[in-house]
Amino acid sequence: MKQKKTIAILGMMCAGCAANVERKLNSLEGIASASVNLPGRTALIEFDTERITLEQMKEALSGIGYDMVIEEDRNVEAIEHRAYLTLRNKVLLSWGFAMLVMSLSMGWFGISDYDASFRNQTALIIALLNLVYCGRPFYVTACKQLMHGSANMDTLVALSTCISFLFSTFNTFWGDAFWGSRGIENHTYFDASVMIITFVLTGRLLEERAKQGTASSIRALMGLTPKTAHLIDAGETNDIPISAVQPRDTLEVRPGEKIPVDGTIVGSRSAYEVMGTVDESMMTGEAVAVEKRKGDKVLAGTIVKSGTFHFRAEAVGQKTVLANMIRMVQEAQGSKAPVQHVVDRIALIFVPTVVGLSVLTFALWLLIGGSQYLPQAILSAVSVLVIACPCAMGLATPTALMVGIGKAAEKNILIKDATALEELRKVDAMVMDKTGTITEISENSENSEISESSERLKPHAREAMQELQSQGISIYMMSGDREERVAHWATAAGITHYKAQVLPQDKEDLVRQLQAEGHHVAMVGDGINDSQALAAANVGIAMGKGTDVAMDVAQVTLMGQDLRRLSDAIRLSRKTVSMIHQNLFWAFIYNMVCIPLAAGLPYLFGYQWQITPMLASALMAFSSVSVVLNSLRLRFTS
């Protein structure tokens, strides 16, 4: 049986990590597809439960240095918080080691030149402590990757620090004899090995802090579900964990509380027909609290504003509307935009390519200057290993997508996948159903699918159409209603292109006709009769109060009735994709500019300057953090 599941993956730190995890999962028999989300630390996996188990996936990933959280009693947030605290402590300790080594190398302790041997041996001990304690994860992961024929950012850090440390250790004990006989000045680079680890760890700490903002929207949705529920059993009220609630249980909710599961009101303590009011803005986007009567539906996560009432539980656990929203947002954040597939292919070969460039840099320096330039060759090769960071490139797309899709969820726009978000920005024609989409039936009218006078334009519909047209989008309204009524509502909404008395096939035909003319088409509808056109469109957009069929077919769902969310979705799509392009541009430019500088290219033009390993590690950390911070700017977009 096929199943799709979003699972937390621990231990991923860079694009190489994500690429390795994804490649490993996709190589396993029984997995149809696996898509890894680096900033979210998750994998969206579609697999056959009869051919592979979660335990087998976990074992496979463990072999290459990663952990899959499949146990119910393992709290991912608690694990990540502990890991964050451990990382913070290592950063503080590593900075302490760094200051000690820098003090020794700069002579801040008053150690004169004839004490160089003591100074170097002391620096060796401090650097070794830093490598063993603070840098240990780099070497463990690098070894596991090597055993399986793969590599990631940890491989580059492990190589560069080991080369710096071993070269400096050799110079400490045998350097004077070896280099002195050749007339070459003896140098050690313990400070470089320490500072590389310090800066990389600092960069990761800053990334973790920044990434918390990218996932804030999904955490906010998760926080809407209360931890306990009031169970009515034999006339008594008892508090139970929400996980213990079963369908058909009778529950009580009180003013100010969140409704724990989906259900139907069966009674209250009120003698009035209206039993209370509920704030459903997180579902519908409507700010006004909704009056609730016996027989009305209530949804998990919505807030009781007034009244105490009882309701019968119907959808619980992962079957509630809220749980479905959370799952949809998680899957969308874990999906890949088309541009990301190019980045993934680059990430797979990036680290081996960098190692090759480092070896080439080393060889060229020896070719140019002979053994006299060996220290310079090693310094340049180490700088290339450190500066070429695939992290910024790997974070460029998923961080922007996470923020963009999360921001859309805050605006009551549910986007199913990254492709839909990317496609929305191209839309220049929009086909819209009339009834249920642009107009609504008055709820306070008897026999409202019959009384014509009960139909009305949705609030803000005309304003929404004007906003879309100002974005360069042509609007086409389609309806099975009579010509005069369609013309009336089209005029009321400010729509010039419309067609009456159409069948479902006519809506699809219009979509395909516009596509044949070169338009990028979005279809907006709410009914079964819209499903053909929704499926045919470049982007299908369903109304949240529409049929299940429409929402299943569509890639985007608008919760609530505010059509202004359509222009919000298009604007957010354009800004998100623009942010992705910015991030990728700077990530590639960073490597194209910095690698030659780290290799010592300025020396060929007479400039006595190059990027040192310490500066390289600082720049590498800054590049990753800057990409995440740039993506976070989307959170402040309108």
Q: What is the pLDDT of residues 170-187, one digit of tens each?
A: 888 887 777 666 666 667
Q: How much of the chain, in percent, has pLDDT values that exceed 90?
A: 29
Would you say 216 and 406 are in contact if contact means Cβ atoms under 8 Å apart? yes
**pLDDT per position as a tens digit, 441-458:** 765 544 437 345 588 899
Mean pLDDT, residues 54-60: 93
Distance, in Å, from the CA atom of 127 to the CA atom of 197, rounded to the nearest integer, reads: 10
pLDDT given at position 390: 65
Residue 192's nearest CA partner among 631, 598, 608 is: 598
465: buried, middle or exposed (CB in 10 Å: 19+, 13-18, 0-12)? buried
Q: Among residues 488, 497, 430, which one has the least CA distance to residue 464?
A: 430
Cα distance between residue 308 and residue 268, in whole Å: 6
Mean pLDDT, range 577-587, rounded to an integer: 88
Q: What is the DSSP letter of 280?
A: -
Reply yes or no on whether the pLDDT at 532 is more than 70: yes
Which is catalytic among the residues 154, 262, 433, 530? 433
Residues contacting 200, CB < 8 A, separation 6+: 138, 157, 617, 620, 621
Q: What is the pLDDT of residue 217?
A: 62
- 10 Å CB burial of residue 447 (0-12, 13-18, 19+) is exposed
User: Does the active-site annotation cover 433?
Assistant: yes
Confidence at residue 338, expressed as pLDDT on a 0 to 100 scale: 73
- pLDDT score, position 291: 87
Q: What amino acid occupies position 281? A: S
Distance in angstroms (rounded) separating the CA atoms of residues 101 and 123? 5
Residue 124 has pLDDT above 90, yes or no: yes
- Per-residue pLDDT tens over the stretch 78-96: 888 888 899 999 999 999 9
**Does residue 563 sit in helix, strand or coil?**
coil
Q: Which residue has better confidence, 596 or 391? A: 596
pLDDT in tens, 449-508: 734 558 889 989 999 999 999 999 999 999 888 899 999 999 999 999 999 988 888 999
Among the ranges 221-225, 245-249, 292-296, 552-556, which has the highest mean pLDDT value? 245-249
Q: What is the DSSP letter of 301?
A: T
Q: CA-to-CA distance for 4 and 32, rounded, in angstroms?
A: 10
In degrees, rounded to 5, the angle at the alpha carbon of residue 442 between the alpha carbons of residues 438 and 445 is 155
Q: Which two tokens stand for residue 210?
A: 């920044």
Q: How far apart are CA 314 and CA 250, in angstroms?
A: 10
Helix segments in 63-189, DSSP class H: 76-105, 116-129, 136-147, 153-180
Residue 340 · residue 397 · CB < 8 Å: yes
- For residue 139 the two structure tokens come to 């070497």
| pLDDT above 80 for 44 | yes
* CA quadruple 634, 624, 351, 149: dihedral sign: negative
pTM of the model: 0.71
Mean pLDDT, the chain, rounded, equals 84
Give 113's pLDDT tier (boundaries 50, 70, 90).
low
In tens, the pLDDT along 318-348 reads 888 888 777 777 777 666 677 767 777 776 7
Q: What are phi and psi of 285, to 5 degrees?
A: 80, 0
Q: Which residue has the higher pLDDT, 549 or 144?
A: 144
H or E element at residue 462? helix 461-470
pLDDT digits (tens, 9 = 90+) for 216-229: 666 666 677 888 99
What is the model's pLDDT at position 447?
A: 43
